[in-house]
Amino acid sequence: MRLKEKVIIITGSTMGIGKAIALRCAREGARVVINGLEENLGEELVTEIGKEQAVAHIEDLTSDGAAQRLVDCALKKYGKLDGLVNNAAMVASSNIHTTDLEFLENIFQVNTYAPFQLIKSALPYLSKTDGSVLNIGSVNAWSGEPDLLAYSMSKGALMTMTRNLGDTLMREEGIRVNQINPGWVLTEKEIERKRAQNLDENWYTQLPETYAPAGRILQPEEIASAAVYWLSDECGPVSGQVMELEQYPLIGRNPPKDETTIPKREE
């Protein structure tokens, strides 16, 4: 087992990528702390993994003191901390015209400030175990889609923090800090978002080659497989790195000339 007896906090893990990471970490021998907003989903996941190997702490990470309470949960249950996965995120459409400072602040509170505060709270304990921080970003950190301005800004800031802390914390504390930037992933929320945008019910089975050269988009389990490497001892001293997980190059891509759109539902 690649994560045997490691204790790992995974935020936003009641569904989607976070849930897939929690399940995969547990299969690799880790004891996991589940976090999210949905108490019923959190308890269901704890039952699925097993109560000796998982515990749930359901709380909004933007609440005062939430980061420390989440770390304390791990320490109370398991007595130590080996890894932190900052996966929780708010994805909301916005552009320069629809983004005001309040909206921008709300996005940054979840996507950037909460991971920062969690790293600070976990720092004293991760330093004792030569632990690992894994931030889950987005390929949108590099520029972003036209209607994901605030989200893209927040993920860009997260990526800079990863590289900065990946350098300083390795030298000062022996803690690795790395990041995965997933591309388009087929999560439950992504399915809901696209249906809300009036796309066909089976939109993910009718993707043009522009968006999905492989004929499909990524599964959460494929992101989870990569997460295990960064949380395990296999990556050695590697720190401050960002891994892109997408099915085409982000720079220097040659998209097909016959670009098409994803089918809309018929009214």
pLDDT of residue 267: 58
Sequence-distant (≥ 6) Cβ neighbours of residue 66 within 8 angstroms: 59, 60, 114
Q: Which residue type occupies 18?
A: G
Provide the 10 A C-beta neighbour count for residue 256: 10
Asked if 165 and 116 touch (Cβ cutoff 8 Å), the reply is no
Q: In a 3-state reduction of DSSP, which class is residue 183?
A: coil
Residues of the chain with pLDDT under 70: 257-260, 263, 265-267
| Calpha distance 210→257 (Å, rounded) | 9
Q: Does pTM surpass 0.85?
A: yes
List of domains in the chain: 7-185+220-245 (3.40.50.720)
Query: Would you please indicate which residues are annotated as catalytic (active-site) residues?
Result: 151
pLDDT of residue 259: 59
pLDDT of residue 36: 97
Sequence-distant (≥ 6) Cβ neighbours of residue 83 within 8 angstroms: 3, 6, 7, 8, 9, 30, 126, 131, 132, 133, 134, 231
DSSP strand E in 6-119: where?
7-10, 31-36, 54-58, 83-86
| Calpha distance 40→8 (Å, rounded) | 21
91-110 pLDDT per residue, tens: 999 999 999 999 999 999 99
Provide the 10 A C-beta neighbour count for residue 146: 10
Provide the 10 A C-beta neighbour count for residue 94: 18
pLDDT of residue 132: 98
